[in-house]
Copies of this chain bind each other. A is one copy, B any other.
Amino acid sequence: MPVIFAAAVEHASVLLALFLMIAAAKLMAEIFERLRQPAVVGEILAGVIIGPSVLGLVKPSELISIVAEIGVIFLLFMVGLETKPQSVYRVGKKALLVGTLGVILPFVAGYFIAMAWDGSFVEAMFIGAAMVATSVGITARVLGSMGLLDRETAKIILGAAVIDDILGLIILSIVSALSSGTVNYLELGKTAAMAIFFVVLVATVGSHVINKLAPRVRQLKLSKPFFNLGLILCLGLSVASIYVGVAAIIGAFLAGMALAEATEGNHKMHQLTSGVTEFLVPFFLVNIGMQLNIAVFRDWSVVLLAVIITVAAVLTKFVGCGLGAWGMSRREMAQVGVGMVPRGEVGIVVAQIGLSLAVITETFFAAVLFMAVATTLIAPPLIKMLYSEDKDQDGIDDVIVETDISEMYPRIG
């Protein structure tokens, strides 16, 4: 290769990584679909395989993590587009209870496991914090591909995940402050108030503003005006979210929800957005798998700790969130419980913060990372199973055709 193309080859190595990630993801998705398993699991495993654990073809990098983040941002934006605000308000109380119980139980479990494992107080608080996070993207992806995002339990899971994220922010703020010695409760109160204010404001006012603007948007000379407005709103609210302290995906979800009514039945808008998510989401999934480095698990005590934490992570969310949905049928309670299990990228980020602040040991880091990836792999088959039974029973198939846009077109795309 001519030496002059050094600059181009730098890009080439990035493009090569992206190519390997998407090719591996789609190959594994195809295999898992044939085995009647959720495609997401295949795509995450693709990351384990091409990442440092097995083949070492692609290394996690800052650039890849940003592409992955844009992927999950658009995934939640897309989910937001299919979520009318009213449908979330309706389940608001239940979501609050699900979110809260789903934070308390895992936190307490994580704290006591770490304490029992000779962790320090701050370390135990951090492990608790890492157990709290829900990666709602995974559940949304599975339910979306089954065309079930319009179910009541899906709304509860989405609402609870938002509450989860705010409570997680507060806990993480306290825990991080503890690690530096002092907690400034005034600052903390401000942070929490800001986050809650932002979410409530956008969730309640956003949709009205967009609905009022819609006739004007339609008159824009710009091609694809709604889609472009969506792109701007999605990125803008994602950035704003990070600045107020909550995850970017919360902003993206709110952006989608704000547009949900104005773009209802706008297939073109949904198809265009679907193109972006279809391209970018695999990087998000593969990147989760790539975080794992199996080499750490040569030490049996690490494996034992990882397994204990994982089992506790699954059970506490399942029980806590399931109980939060009290009053619904047993199956629905189980659906909500299992939908909140994946920790995914959120758990990984918390563990990374703990490591960077030097308050958790490598052993705990490895165990939490394992838990984050394992819960993300365990949940999708359970979600699929619990919702499929449902489908068989009440002939929900009609609804799928109505809501899953991808099914409305001939199967040639």
Q: Which residues of A contact B (CB under 8 A)?
A: 1-12, 14-16, 18-19, 22-23, 26, 29-30, 33-34, 39, 62-63, 65-66, 69-70, 73, 145, 169, 172-173, 176, 187, 191, 218, 220-228, 231-232, 235-236, 238-239, 242-245, 247-248, 263, 266-269, 271-276, 278-279, 349, 352-353, 356-357, 406, 409-413
**Quick check: B406 and A19 within 8 Å, CB to CB?**
no
| Cβ-defined contact, A275 with B266, below 8 A | no
Closest B residue, CB atoms, query A357? B4
Inter-chain CA distance A330–B65, complex, in Å, is 52
Task: Name A34's closest neighbour in chain B (CB-CB).
Answer: B221
Contact status of A5 and B242, CB under 8 A, knowing A273-B275, A275-B272, A279-B231: yes
**With A7-B356, A8-B242, A245-B1 as given contacts, are A23 and B221 in contact (CB-CB < 8 Å)?**
no
- Select which of B187, B228, B248 is within 8 A of A278 by beta carbon: B228
Q: Name the B residues within 8 Å of A267 (CB-CB).
A: 409
Report whether B2 and A224 are in contact in the complex, using a CB–CB cutoff of 8 Å: no
The 8 closest A-B pairs by CB, nearest first: A275-B275, A268-B413, A272-B275, A33-B221, A19-B235, A4-B176, A12-B242, A271-B271
Instruction: Report the separation of the CA atoms of residues A224 and B276 in the bound assembly, to the nearest whole angstrom.
Output: 13
**A177, chain B: closest CB distance, angstroms:** 8
- Nearest CB in chain B: distance from A45 CB, A: 15
Task: Give the CA-CA distance A18 to B413 in the complex, in Å.
Answer: 29
Whether B412 pairs with A226 at a CB distance below 8 angstroms is yes
| Shortest distance between the CB of A221 and any CB in chain B (Å) | 4
Quickly give the copy total for this chain. 2
A130 CB to closest chain B CB, in angstroms? 13
Chain A binding site: helix, strand, loop or mixed by DSSP?
helix
Task: Please list 11 pairs of residues, one from A and one from B, whose beta carbons are closer than 8 Å in the complex, sorted by A's number.
Answer: A4-B176, A8-B248, A11-B69, A12-B243, A16-B239, A19-B239, A30-B221, A63-B63, A263-B412, A268-B271, A268-B409
Cβ contacts under 8 Å, A145 to chain B? 223
User: B19 contacts A243, CB within 8 Å?
Assistant: no
Instruction: Let me know if A7 and B353 touch, CB within 8 A.
Output: yes
Q: Is the CB of A22 within 8 A of B413?
A: no
A235 touches B2 (CB 8 A): no
Closest to A194 in B: B1
Report Cα–Cα, A152/B239, bound state, in Å.
45
| Contact, CB under 8 Å: B275 / A245 | no
Q: Are A15 and B238 interface neighbours, CB within 8 A?
A: yes
Judging by beta carbons under 8 Å apart, are A173 and B4 in contact? yes
Do residues B235 and A66 form an inter-chain contact, with CB atoms below 8 A? no
Smallest CB gap from A180: residue in B: B3
Q: How many angstroms from the CA of A232 to the CA of B73 in the assembled complex?
A: 22
Q: Please give, as numbers and ranges, the residues of chain B lying within 8 Å of A228 by CB-CB distance.
A: 22, 26, 278
Which of A223, A242, A244, A273 counts the most B-chain CB atoms under 10 A from its CB? A223
